[in-house]
Chain A
Amino acid sequence: MGFPNRIERTVELAHAPQQVWAALTTAEGLAAWFGNKGATIDLRTGGDASLDFDNGVHTNMRVERIEEPTVFGFTWQIYGLPADDPRRTYVEFTLEPTPAGTRLTVVETGFAQLPDDAHKTAFDGNVNGWAQKLDELRDYLDAR
């Protein structure tokens, strides 16, 4: 299978879980290492969050899981897909205390999702709809 659906990384951090938790779940923390141009977060399940990156990309996220200070999960859009595409990947950070500080694991899943049929139909319909509307406009103008 050549299509990665799941990405996982683990890092050892020389800081207590509370410090790591703050870096992951506060606007100030996120803006310091993640969205370097700014970050917002409404820290409750279902809350909105966003990151602004150096390259001008603005990403909206939705907070999915909060178990302070061990699990923080959110969903966000797959980079490069149109804004109205419903597909999201799920990112989950897990914090484990260690003698030296914290073992942080990040798992991102959902890259290999097919668009659901309803969306696919709606999307194709929309594209064809525009082509048809532009043709109708031209016929209208030609007839004048």
Chain B
Amino acid sequence: MPADFEAIAEQVFIALGDPNRRVILAELAAGGPATATDLATRLPITRQGIAKHLATLELAGLVVAEPGERRRVRYRLQSAPMQLAQQFLAALARDWDSQLDALSAHLDRKARRPHG
């Protein structure tokens, strides 16, 4: 297991653990790249709060800064770390227990009605 795999997943879940950061990520996912000022006008978070959270998200590799209009920095969501975290969630969400119960029930039904 590569160590960075764990580290990336940890950064994603730390980022998602804060409600203000979730709101910022959700806004970037829904509306596309935005400047800190754009986000401050759209969200109930102070300009300083937005800047602080964007810095944290950028360090974690979840957003990337890029030049926008009139030389203002825009922030864009980076989906690769999210997809990595999604792999972790996929493992937790794989419900073989229910699936195997369903298989067992299917075989029981079929044995009772061999031609049905």
Contacts and interface: CB of A to CB of B under 8 A. Distances in A.
A32 B106 contact: yes
Given A80-B89, A81-B86, A111-B87, A7 B106 contact: no
B2 interface: yes
Contact of A3 (B5, B76, B105): B5
A115 B107 CA distance: 38
Contacts of B18: none
A141 to B, nearest CB: 15
Contacts of A87: 87
B96 A34 contact: no
A124 interface: yes
B11 to A, nearest CB: 13
Interface residues of A, number: 38
Contact of B94 (A2, A7, A29, A115): A7
A131 B64 CA distance: 13
Interface string B67-91: 0000000001001100110111111
Given A19-B107, A112-B1, A9 B87 contact: no
Interface string A52-81: 000000000000000000000000001111
11 contacts: A3-B1, A7-B91, A13-B104, A14-B111, A33-B103, A34-B102, A34-B103, A79-B90, A112-B87, A113-B87, A127-B79
